[in-house]
Structures are given as C-alpha cells and as structure tokens.
C-alpha cells in the first residue's frame, strides 16, 4: 500500500490530505485490478466458513477487541504496486452508527512465499464513515513473525481479465512495538498482537518475479 506522508499544520490542508490518503488506501494507489479498491463486496467475500478471520486488540483512541470471522467479515488483498511486498485488507460489520473499521496490513514479503523470519509490516486502521485514519507510517513499528501463503484451487482465466490471477490464503501473526497515529500525531492507537487469515489475488507477473529472484540467488 502507498501512504505519502505530508504533515501539514493548517486544518484545511490536513483535511484534504486525510481524504486523499483514505482514497489512496481504498484504491491501493494503482490502476491494476485487485480486490482492494473494488466496490463493497457481499458479506461472504472472505474465505469459506471460518477459514478467514482477524484477531486484534486496539487501545488508546479506540478500545476494542476485534474477533472477526464468518459471514460478517470481508477480506481482500494483492501485491503492493511497487513490487515490494503484499497487502491484505479486512473489514468488519458496521456498527449501529453505520461506522465500519477497515484494517490494512502491508507486509514486506514475496507473493506466494512462506516465511518464519521477522517481516517489516505497515498497519493502517481506517474508520469508514468518519474519514479517520491511523497508520504506523512505515515498516519499522510492526513485524510479522510467521507467514503462510497457501495457493487456493481457483484461478481466474486470462481471457476474462487480460491477465491470469491466482488466489492465495494469507495467514500471519505478529506484533507492533509502537502505535499507529493520525497524520498530525494528535491521536494514537496501540496494537499489541495480531493474528489473521485472509485472501490475496496475485497476477502471473507477481509470482514470476518471485520465481526469477529465487532462481538467481546464489
């Protein structure tokens, strides 16, 4: 995901910057097709049954213990536009005020490759309906310590979307050592540990780049 930091003191410019960032996260800052940035999907848009889930505790600006799974969970993902990792997004059910949280993880990992080492991770929390955004603003504050990417049986033929895509189940667990903040630093959101399983769609080029890099390694 791409977040361009522009810390501006004047409220009007700050508001415009915040709206631009939320739009950027929602559309993945890329013209390529992916699950992130599409119109709201039906409530069954994550993995079948309870294979998709998100467990996460939020403290500070919010005080919530999230345990999303089943029909109320939406998830989507794909490769980062710059080719420097992958991202997975989760959205839970709306509350009685029509507000909904969306959590986006940007992980410095190759599409389709498992990992058990520490992986730098960026976490963004968006309050949809209030134009609020909290971000760790870089990959140094959070780490994924275990990542499993499992290819699913389904694939989208190239003749329908101009490029062939492959769905993967992305399961990860990790932690944060510093809070996510608003752009002006006035709000802090503490995330201790997180555990999730979602889905990401990778194009042939995403997986091919990974294969070529591994083949060229000594």
> What pLDDT digit, counting tens, does each position of 72-130 carry?
899 999 999 888 899 999 999 888 888 899 999 999 999 999 998 899 999 999 999 88
Establish if 94 belongs to a structural domain. Answer: yes
Per-residue pLDDT for 10 more than 60?
no
- pLDDT value for 157: 63
Residue 70 backbone dihedrals phi, psi, to 5 degrees: 75, -150
Q: For residue range 170-210, list pLDDT tens digits in order.
A: 999 999 999 999 988 899 999 999 999 999 999 988 987 65
Closest of 38, 10, 2, 30 to residue 135, by C-alpha: 2
Establish if 198 belongs to a structural domain. Answer: yes
- pLDDT value for 156: 62
Establish if 2 belongs to a structural domain. Answer: no
Q: For residue range 25-76, list pLDDT tens digits in order.
A: 444 444 344 444 333 434 447 998 889 999 999 999 999 999 999 888 999 9
Establish if 1 belongs to a structural domain. Answer: no
Residue 90 backbone dihedrals phi, psi, to 5 degrees: -130, 140
Q: State the total domains in the chain.
A: 1
Establish if 3 belongs to a structural domain. Answer: no
Establish if 4 belongs to a structural domain. Answer: no
Q: What is the pTM of this model?
A: 0.77
Establish if 72 belongs to a structural domain. Answer: yes
For residue 165, the enclosing domain spans: 11-216
**Tokens representing residue 79 in the block:** 């490769």
């Amino acid at each position: 995901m791409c977040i361009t930091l522009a810390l501006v003191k004047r409220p009007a410019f700050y508001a415009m910057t915040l709206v631009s960032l939320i739009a950027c996260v929602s559309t993945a800052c890329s013209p390529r097709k992916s699950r992130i940035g599409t119109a709201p999907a039906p409530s069954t848009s994550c993995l079948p049954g309870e294979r998709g889930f998100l467990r996460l505790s939020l403290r500070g600006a919010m005080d919530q213990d999230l345990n999303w799974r089943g029909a109320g969970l939406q998830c989507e993902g794909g490769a980062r536009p710059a080719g420097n990792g992958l991202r997975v997004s989760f959205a839970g059910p709306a509350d009685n005020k029509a507000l909904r949280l969306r959590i986006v993880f940007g992980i410095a990992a190759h599409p389709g490759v498992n990992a058990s080492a520490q992986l730098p991770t960026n976490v963004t929390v968006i309050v949809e309906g209030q134009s609020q955004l909290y971000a760790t603003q870089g990959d140094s504050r959070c780490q994924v310590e275990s990542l499993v990417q499992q290819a699913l049986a389904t694939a989208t033929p190239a003749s329908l979307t101009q490029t062939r895509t492959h769905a993967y189940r992305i399961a990860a667990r990790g932690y944060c050592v510093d809070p996510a903040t608003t752009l002006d630093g006035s709000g802090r959101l503490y995330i201790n540990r997180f555990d999730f399983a979602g889905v990401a769609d990778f194009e042939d080029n995403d997986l091919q780049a990974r294969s070529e890099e591994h083949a060229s390694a000594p």
